[in-house]
Amino acid sequence: MFEKVRVVLVEPSHPGNVGAVARAMKNMGFERLYLVKPRRFPDEEATWRAASAGDVLDSAVVVDSLFEALSDCAFAVGTSARERRIPWPILDARRASAEMVTRASQSEVALVFGREDRGLTNEELELCHLHVNIPTSDAYRSLNLAMAVQILCYELRMQVLFEDLPESSDSDWDAPFADVESLSRFYEHLEQTLIDIAFLDPAAPRQLMKRLRRLYNRIQIDEMELNILRGILTETQKVAHELGALKTRSTQGEAE
């Protein structure tokens, strides 16, 4: 897919944007940039903004018309912000990316971006099979050119990657998670310790253990963490027992 997709910029006026587009593309795994009549190219500012994507600029194809940039493409998608008088097939960035990935399995496809100030002309949009819209806020509709490229290249990349990315936030965990039996022993140990330090009165336990169970059950505790917590409990009990023994001895001393 990544080799079948070209990004086409029509008459970009700011070299900084061209550089930022090159970087956005390479960050997402795309390398084929076409420039239709860029105002200034090559340009130092473009090279600076491209950072480590200078190779994308070096291999960019400069052409005189959008028609030339698309001539060997079987599917072209044009970015469009405005409503058209005659509606054209249009999808949001995510759904359009899904469509492009499907098409790219068979043919060369192009993603076309217009001028910073005026976008694509009607004639240019009519060269495209599908229009794509990035749903921006009513408070500020106009996306920077490189940002639009970034979002669409990201969406294309995610079409390919998403299913294979871990669904769970702890998929790469370093210890196995504790099972119910170990947890149950932990809760018993915790309860006994709380009695030992006189925080829990077995005669009036109220909801204390329930609240602590709910607290610890909201995390999936791993075995290493459980060992640490039980170690803390054991040491706490030692301190409590030592204090108890000292008190007993001193009471006996007084009594003698």
- Residues 6 or more apart in contact with residue 179 via CB below 8 angstroms: none
Site for a second copy, residues 55 to 114, rule: CB under 8 A: 86-87, 89-92, 94-95, 99
Q: Is 203 in the site for a second copy (CB under 8 A)?
A: no
Structure-token pair, residue 232: 């803390």
Query: Among 64, 172, 181, 256, which residue sits at the site for a second copy (rule: CB under 8 A)?
Result: 172
Of 149 and 190, which CB lies nearer to a second copy in the complex structure?
A: 149
Instruction: Please work out the total of residues on this chain that contact a second copy, with binding judged by CB under 8 A.
Output: 47
Which stretch, 5-13, 21-29, 35-43, 245-253, contacts a second copy (CB under 8 A)? 21-29
Q: How far apart are CA 25 and CA 30, in angstroms?
A: 5
Structure-token pair, residue 57: 């600029």
Q: Is 146 in the site for a second copy (CB under 8 A)?
A: yes
Query: Among 6, 26, 32, 115, which residue sits at the site for a second copy (rule: CB under 8 A)?
Result: 26
Q: Is 176 in the site for a second copy (CB under 8 A)?
A: no
Q: How far apart are CA 252 and CA 256, in angstroms?
A: 6
Which stretch, 103-111, 171-179, 180-188, 194-202, contacts a second copy (CB under 8 A)? 171-179
Query: Among 63, 147, 209, 212, which residue sits at the site for a second copy (rule: CB under 8 A)?
Result: 147
H or E element, residue 5: strand 5-10
Amino acid at 116: E
Of 73 and 134, which CB lies nearer to a second copy in the complex structure?
A: 134
Output the DSSP codes for 50-92: HGGGHHHHHTPEEES-HHHHHTT-SEEEEE--SPPSS---EEE
Q: Is 27 in the site for a second copy (CB under 8 A)?
A: yes
Q: Residue 194's closest CA among 182, 178, 206?
A: 206
Q: Is 218 in the site for a second copy (CB under 8 A)?
A: no
Measured between alpha carbons, how far is residue 168 from residues 154, 162, 176 in Å?
A: 21, 13, 14
Taking the complex as a whole, the smallest distance from the CB of residue 58 to a second copy amounts, in Å, to 14
Inter-residue contact 71 to 105 (CB < 8 Å)? no
Question: Given the rule CB under 8 A, which residues bind a second copy?
Answer: 20, 23-24, 26-29, 51-53, 86-87, 89-92, 94-95, 99, 130, 134-137, 139-144, 146-147, 150-151, 154, 157-158, 161-162, 165-167, 169-170, 172-174
